[in-house]
Amino acid sequence: MIAEPVERFDAWLARQRQPVSAPVDEPVHRGREHFSRIGCADCHTIRGTPARGDEGPDLTHVASRRTIAAGTLPMSRENLARWISASQRVKPGNRMEDFSHLDDVVVRDLAAYLHSLE
């Protein structure tokens, strides 16, 4: 748990309400394309993009979180890739689809995209 003075919390909340920026490099851009093509956007929302799913968590500012997978893993690009490619091995029984069939390059691009979402 994190406790902040009201002003800092209000500033954080205002940042969290903002949509994401456009991708700035090629892996991040490819990751955003994969996110839509693979079906991630069917379950997850990312404000400022066509992703409007409501089954999974809102990922708009996922990289600003300290952990992922409901506190199972510390936030890092490597752990995002691990979660994408092996979520059922990381946290058995979670509701995320198994994406172990994805190519390593696709997983790295997806992780780069998600890690850019601060």
Q: Which CATH number fits domain 26-115: 3.40.50.450, 2.60.120.380, 2.60.40.420, 1.20.140.10?
A: 2.60.40.420
Domain boundaries, the chain: 26-115
pTM here?
0.90
- Cα–Cα distance list, 95 to 5, 85, 87, 90 (Å): 35, 14, 9, 12
Residue 24's Cα: distance from chain center in Å?
16
Q: What is the dihedral of CA 38, 44, 46, 47, to 10 degrees?
A: 130
Start-end of H helices in the chain: 6-16, 26-38, 40-43, 77-90, 104-115
Q: Which pLDDT belongs to residue 90?
A: 95
pLDDT in tens, 44-95: 999 999 999 999 999 999 999 999 999 999 999 999 999 999 999 999 999 9
What count of Cα atoms within 13 Å lies in the side-chain half-sphere of residue 56? 21
As a whole number of angstroms, the distance between CA 56 and CA 43 comes to: 5
Q: Give the distance from CA 91 to its chain's centroid.
A: 16
Band the pLDDT of 12: cuts 50, 70, 90: confident
